Amino acid sequence: MVRRNLKQRREKPFSALQKIYMILLTFLAAGLISAYGCALIILKGPSTSISNLITSTMMETRTLRSVARLFFSEEEMEIIANRNSVSSTTEITDTNADFVIDPEKKDLIDIIDIRGATYEGKLMIIYDPSRIELACNLEMEDPHAGYFVEDYVQAYDAVAGINGGGFDDPNGQGTGALPYGIVIKDGELISGEMDSYQTVIGFNQQDKLIVGNMTGAQALEYGLRDAVTFQPIFIVNYTPVEITGIGGGLNPRTVIGQREDGAVLFLVIDGRQTTSLGASYSDCIEIMMEYGAMNAANLDGGSSSVMVYNGEIINNVVSMNGDRRVPTAFIVK
């Protein structure tokens, strides 16, 4: 009799988990492929306007710009940006025009709810421009982290404020310590170069909003008392800049403007939310024109966009962690 050694077949205890894992991995891969295919259809499909809108929006954010690179080369993204943009201008605010402040409104601040097809936000009207000051991180050379707009408002014993110019933000982890370009505080250049051209946004000694491309030395010659750097300029001497295509994507925005009666306009648009996708540059220009701005310019946006009034943030900031630390803020005393 032949005896056979029969070995009982044992299933490895983790083989069942492996099967489940492979099934889930297959579904995940299929989902990613489907999502990529859908995105490809949207971004490179037959609707140029939808493609331009979504791609322009992605390109204005650090994280989503990396996603856009999965579908477009740098050259293609540059082409899209150029055909959906705001033109630069060589004009600078006319400093000769004067304004007369309505004495009955001098101490007033109006706050208006702003709504459009894709956005919601707040417009603040400050009737006395002499109340506007620049608050800034004076320890930026250390560098010391910037502050929240609420902190600037409280420190300066102010009643309101919005974020100001841009800042160095490596990998979206910047601390608001180092501002971009030119910063002028109380008539002194505290950041930036005297001979470097920048887009300058600020107020002169006569409380007029000055916007234009200039060097630090020229900004001081113009008598700017408080100023920051950001872009683009929207309106100069009543004339809006030329818009190409859709004029940028839909994102949170912060804008500053001034009317011919001297009243200053603070505009903050919410974005990247289900209730407010955001506004394009074209939208911002239209709002500023509607409310009578003779000069207006874009300030830092995205997760920096915030409006503070009476010690509280009155817009819906995009980040779940709240507003960001920034090096500068325009405040209302």
Q: pLDDT per residue over 168-220, tens digit each?
A: 988 777 899 999 999 999 999 999 999 999 999 999 999 999 999 999 999 99
Assess whether pLDDT exceeds 60 at residue 32. Answer: no
User: Residue 33: what pLDDT?
Assistant: 57
134 or 47: which carries more pLDDT confidence?
134
Assess whether pLDDT exceeds 80 at residue 221. Answer: yes
pLDDT digits (tens, 9 = 90+) for 59-110: 787 667 777 777 778 887 788 778 888 899 999 999 887 888 888 999 999 9
Cβ-in-10-Å burial (0-12, 13-18, 19+) of 11 comes to exposed
pLDDT band for 7, please (50, 70, 90 cuts).
very low
User: Residue 219: what pLDDT?
Assistant: 97
Rounded Cα distance between 250 and 224, Å, is 32
User: Residue 67: what pLDDT?
Assistant: 72
Q: Of 316, 333, 156, 329, which is closest to residue 256 (Cα–Cα)?
A: 329
User: Residue 70: what pLDDT?
Assistant: 73
Rounded Cα distance between 273 and 253, Å, is 13
User: Residue 60: what pLDDT?
Assistant: 81
User: Residue 304: what pLDDT?
Assistant: 95
- Assign residue 165 a region (left: φ > 0; alpha: ψ between -120 and 50; beta: otherwise): beta
User: Residue 159: what pLDDT?
Assistant: 98
pLDDT digits (tens, 9 = 90+) for 262-314: 999 999 999 999 999 999 999 999 999 999 999 999 999 999 999 999 999 99
Q: Which residue has 């289900």 as its token pair?
A: 274
pLDDT digits (tens, 9 = 90+) for 127-165: 999 999 999 998 877 788 999 999 999 999 999 999 999
Own/partner contacts of 69-76, CB < 8 Å, gap of 24 or more, are 70/36, 71/39, 71/40, 71/43, 71/44, 72/43
User: Residue 84: what pLDDT?
Assistant: 82
Rounded Cα distance between 50 and 67, Å, is 17
- Is 137 within 8 Å of 177 (Cβ atoms)? yes
User: Residue 28: what pLDDT?
Assistant: 67
Assess whether pLDDT exceeds 50 at residue 8. Answer: no
Q: Mean of the per-residue pLDDT values for the chain? A: 87
User: Residue 6: what pLDDT?
Assistant: 44
How many degrees, rounded to 5, is the angle at CA 250 between CA 244 and CA 256? 80
User: Residue 17: what pLDDT?
Assistant: 63
pTM of the model: 0.86
Please count the residues of the chain: 333
Q: Cα 161 to chain center, whole Å?
A: 15
Residues with Cβ within 8 Å of 195's Cβ and at least 6 positions away in sequence, in order, are: 215, 216, 217
- Average pLDDT estimate for 29-36: 58
65 or 43: which carries more pLDDT confidence?
65
- Is 237 within 8 Å of 282 (Cβ atoms)? no
Q: 48-59 and 74-82 helices cross at what angle (nearest 10)?
A: 110
